[in-house]
Structure 1
Amino acid sequence: MTATTNTLRSLAPLVGTWAIDGPGLSGTVRYEWMDGGGFLVQHVELVQDGEVNRGVEYIGFHAESGQLRSHFFSQNGEILEYVYELADDTLTIWYGGVDSPAKFVGTFDADGVRNTGAWQWPGGGYESNMTRVEELAR
């Protein structure tokens, strides 16, 4: 395996379907490998404070920075960029880049079936937890 493959494969614990919950938040996300394994693809269907949010995100290895970067394509045409890191049992997702104060930080339980965390940014944030409902081939 190359460094590219190893770095991207660090996100393998995300592969599967997850129920999302939090105050005013519910829905599902599904992570799966793109054919060929070059990207991890997330399908999102959430309801937050009564508003439906759907989209797809492609997460891949950015060789120049050595980071796992993504592009999220929303139902309304927005394209958002994130950086992912899964270190030990902690998942961090930065909006924009690792210097951004807007990020998600969540911790997996010992079995890897629940991630408890929150999105946070200066002046705000919200809890967002994931519970695995279906495991896919990692």
Structure 2
Amino acid sequence: MSNELQRLGRLVGTWDVSGGATGTTTFEWLDGGHFLVQRGRLDHDGHEVRMTEIIGYEHPFGGERGTEVKSRVYDADGNTLDYVYELAGDELTIWGGFKGSPGHFKGVFTDDGNRLTGDWVYPGGGYHATMVRTAASRSDR
């Protein structure tokens, strides 16, 4: 497993989400440690969002493993959303679809790693968001 994906292990645990979306989300490793899974239930502007996200490197059948940490979100409304994750020090960027996208989240972890605060930005809008860890999970793979 690459160091970039491994560093995202700091997301493992259960988080309370507040700001433009509110609710709870949990990150955990899939068996083997090659993918993180996020499962969440959020309220965004009065709409319940139930989702599962798989985060890791693409490795297509017969092909080479990708170099970017990507994800796909599947939600209860039938939507699929793609993201690219970047973690540089304590700053997490989640790009909507591709690096450099106008739709993205940029946030910073506190020194203890138990709070992530930042902003979702997208054409025509955005919102401030905070995640606070409420429970740690097993981080071993």
Tell me the amino acid that sits aligned with residue 129 of structure 1. T
| Distance in 1 (alpha carbons) for counterparts of 2:106 and 2:123 | 14
Q: 3-state SS of the aligned residue for 1:10? A: helix
Q: TM-score under structure 2 normalisation?
A: 0.89
| Distance in 1 (alpha carbons) for counterparts of 2:101 and 2:127 | 17
Q: Deviations over 1:95-123 (max 9, x none)?
A: 10002110000111111111111100233
The answer for the alignment partner of 2:61 in structure 1 is: none
| Distance in 2 (alpha carbons) for counterparts of 1:125 and 1:7 | 27
Matched pairs, number: 134
Moved over 2 A (4+): 4-7, 62-65
| Distance in 2 (alpha carbons) for counterparts of 1:64 and 1:39 | 13
Tell me the amino acid that sits aligned with residue 54 of structure 1. R
Q: Give the counterpart of 2:33 among 34, 37, 48.
A: 37
Deviation at 1:65, TM superposition (A): 4.2
| Distance in 2 (alpha carbons) for counterparts of 1:13 and 1:101 | 25
Distance change (3 Å), C-alpha of 1:123 and 1:53: same
| Distance in 2 (alpha carbons) for counterparts of 1:32 and 1:9 | 12
Deviation at 1:72, TM superposition (A): 0.4
| Distance in 2 (alpha carbons) for counterparts of 1:115 and 1:8 | 17
- Unaligned 5+ residue runs, structure 1? none
CA contact (8 A) 1:20 1:130 kept: yes
Q: 3-state SS of the aligned residue for 2:138? A: coil
- Unaligned 5+ residue runs, structure 2? 59-63
Equivalent residues in 2 for 1:1-138, closer than 5 Å: 4-23=1-20, 25-62=21-58, 65-138=66-139
Tell me the amino acid that sits aligned with residue 134 of structure 1. A
CA contact (8 A) 1:41 1:56 kept: yes
Identity %: 45
Q: TM-score under structure 1 normalisation?
A: 0.91
CA contact (8 A) 2:4 2:87 kept: no
| Distance in 1 (alpha carbons) for counterparts of 2:126 and 2:54 | 24
| Distance in 2 (alpha carbons) for counterparts of 1:49 and 1:72 | 19
Tell me the amino acid that sits aligned with residue 46 of structure 2. G
Tell me the amino acid that sits aligned with residue 56 of structure 2. G
Deviation at 1:137, TM superposition (A): 1.8
